[in-house]
Amino acid sequence: MTKSKFIGAMLATTFIAGTANAQDVTLTIESWRNDDLAIWQNEIIPAFEAAHPGIKLNFTPSAPAEYNAVLNSKLDAGSAGDIITCRPFDASLALFEAGHLADITDIEGMANFSPVAKSGWSTDDASVQFCVPMASVIHGFIYNKEAFDELGIAEPTTEAEFFAALDKIKEDGSYIPMAMGTNDQWEAATMGYNNIGPNYWKGEEGRLALLSGEQKLTDEPWVAPYRQLAKWGAYLGDGFEAQTYPDSQNIFTLGRAAIYPTGSWEISGFNGLADFEMGAFYPPVQNAGDTCYISDHTDIGIGMNAATANPEAAKTFLNWVGSPEFATIFANALPGFFPLSSTPVTLEDPLAQEFISWRGECESSIRSTYQILSRGTPNLENDTWNASVAVIKGEESPEDAGKRLQEGLASWYDPQK
């Protein structure tokens, strides 16, 4: 080989090696949010990759109902992606305890989240964080602005104003006062009890007191929401007992009901279905001037596969998820799913902006049954469903519902024994 050919070969080898070293790292993201595929591909991934050359993202969602099983199979086989989208509380805690999710307590982006925001993805003692909080949903009431204007009703801020509005709507007869059924059960608890309840048990103060055993489900702050629910049946329209969740959605979006007790997750769907202007109000307080509390419920987190071959790139991505840039992109791409970062975000969707503005007016909490309290048998979450239904239908008194739930919880949860 001539000297020139040898030098050429050496240069070619060096170039090839340099190209290989400069190849991008690709992070694969596991998720159940298959509805969000276009948003990731068109908005989130391009924004991240533009700011982080050298790291590529591949969003590979599974069907929501199959996600847990598919993910567990992949983790056990060692074929799961680098990034794991996390459901809140026990499902993700189990993955961490099994060694599948990495401890990411010390990444910089975690400083942007409150203890309430982090509660869905931390150990019971809150000492270890295994997923970055990504999104929450906020509970409240969506209403038909045209109906309110026709009847001269203002957004209620107190319970007295709330029931006065319901009475006025019912008396007029043009609209069903509230669209909610009890057939599917979970609505009565999620959109009823855990919607209005935080105003009674004072959000995190009461929720943490229930966890510690300082308060019981027979105490007034936990029975009182059932007393309000006991009044709701008169305003839900004929046949509400057999009304399903899709039925309620249709009744409201077709303009047949004036108020829809719900959460922000409905915003995107309702925007495309309702041909009237919608507004929203947070759960009315008992008395004017009382502190208001909202269920700002942790819903989606995102963590790192402990077995990833690219931990530094994964941490870079997770830090970005905690940034104001990600929060703004995500919140505007998915109206009604709100970033949990403490950084204020301005939303383009007016209804979503109304919901998120409540964080500046009210104290945030999460659903009372989701952390720890539904691990045993009987399951407190499921029992709260049927208790809420029974109270609304007049089949169980608020006091009896509280007693039954307390007895069930105390039968397995040591702090309540």
What are the residue ranges of helices labelled H in 52-153?
A: 67-77, 90-97, 115-118, 145-151
Distance CA(29)–CA(320), nearest Å, equals 14
Distance CA(168)–CA(372), nearest Å, equals 41
HSE (CB half, 13 Å, CA atoms) of 371?
Answer: 25
* DSSP string computed for 214-232: SS-TTSHHHHHHHHHHHHH
Predicted pLDDT of residue 113: 93
Considering the domain architecture, whether residues 312 and 394 belong to the same structural domain is answered as no
Residue 369 lies in a domain: yes
What are the residue ranges of helices labelled H in 336-397?
A: 350-357, 380-392
Query: Which secondary-structure segment (H or E) carries 143?
Result: strand 132-144
Q: Count CB-CB contacts under 10 A for residue 213.
A: 14
Considering the domain architecture, whether residues 377 and 233 belong to the same structural domain is answered as yes
Q: Name which of 151, 153, 114 is nearest 136 in CA terms.
A: 114
Considering the domain architecture, whether residues 222 and 235 belong to the same structural domain is answered as yes
Asked if 292 contacts 362 with a C-beta cutoff of 8 angstroms, the reply is: yes
Q: Which residues contact 14 (CB under 8 A, 6 or more apart)?
A: none
Asked if 133 contacts 117 with a C-beta cutoff of 8 angstroms, the reply is: yes
Q: Map residue 364 onto helix, strand or coil.
A: strand
Considering the domain architecture, whether residues 126 and 260 belong to the same structural domain is answered as no
Considering the domain architecture, whether residues 232 and 274 belong to the same structural domain is answered as yes
Which residues span the domain enclosing 304? 25-137+297-347
Residue 12 lies in a domain: no
Considering the domain architecture, whether residues 186 and 248 belong to the same structural domain is answered as yes
Asked if 27 contacts 56 with a C-beta cutoff of 8 angstroms, the reply is: yes
Residue 340 lies in a domain: yes
Torsion angles phi and psi, residue 314, rounded to 5: -65, -40
Predicted pLDDT of residue 344: 80
Considering the domain architecture, whether residues 100 and 167 belong to the same structural domain is answered as no
Residue 98 lies in a domain: yes
Q: Count CB-CB contacts under 10 A for residue 53.
A: 8
Distance CA(62)–CA(87), nearest Å, equals 13
Considering the domain architecture, whether residues 38 and 175 belong to the same structural domain is answered as no
**DSSP state, 290?**
P
Considering the domain architecture, whether residues 303 and 260 belong to the same structural domain is answered as no
Domain count within the chain: 2
Residue 85 lies in a domain: yes
Q: Count CB-CB contacts under 10 A for residue 72.
A: 16
Considering the domain architecture, whether residues 231 and 282 belong to the same structural domain is answered as yes
The dihedral formed by the CA atoms of 184, 186, 188 and 190, expressed in degrees to the nearest 10: -150
Residue 126 lies in a domain: yes
Per-residue pLDDT tens, the chain, 417 aa: give them: 444 443 344 344 333 333 333 478 999 999 999 889 999 999 999 999 999 999 999 999 999 989 999 999 999 999 999 999 999 999 999 999 999 999 999 999 999 999 989 999 999 999 999 999 999 999 999 999 999 999 999 999 999 999 999 999 999 999 999 999 999 999 999 999 999 999 999 999 999 999 999 999 999 999 999 999 999 999 999 999 999 999 999 999 999 999 999 999 999 899 999 999 999 999 999 999 999 999 999 999 999 999 999 999 999 999 999 999 999 999 999 999 999 988 888 899 999 999 999 999 999 999 999 999 999 999 999 999 999 999 999 999 999 999 999 999 999 999 999
The single residue listed with the structure tokens 């407190």 is 380
Predicted pLDDT of residue 350: 95
Residue 9 lies in a domain: no
Distance CA(51)–CA(191), nearest Å, equals 40
- CATH at 92: 3.40.190.10
Beta strands in 145-292 (DSSP E): 176-178, 257-263, 278-281
Predicted pLDDT of residue 366: 94
Predicted pLDDT of residue 19: 35
Distance CA(384)–CA(310), nearest Å, equals 43
Considering the domain architecture, whether residues 158 and 73 belong to the same structural domain is answered as no
Residue 272 lies in a domain: yes
Considering the domain architecture, whether residues 301 and 229 belong to the same structural domain is answered as no
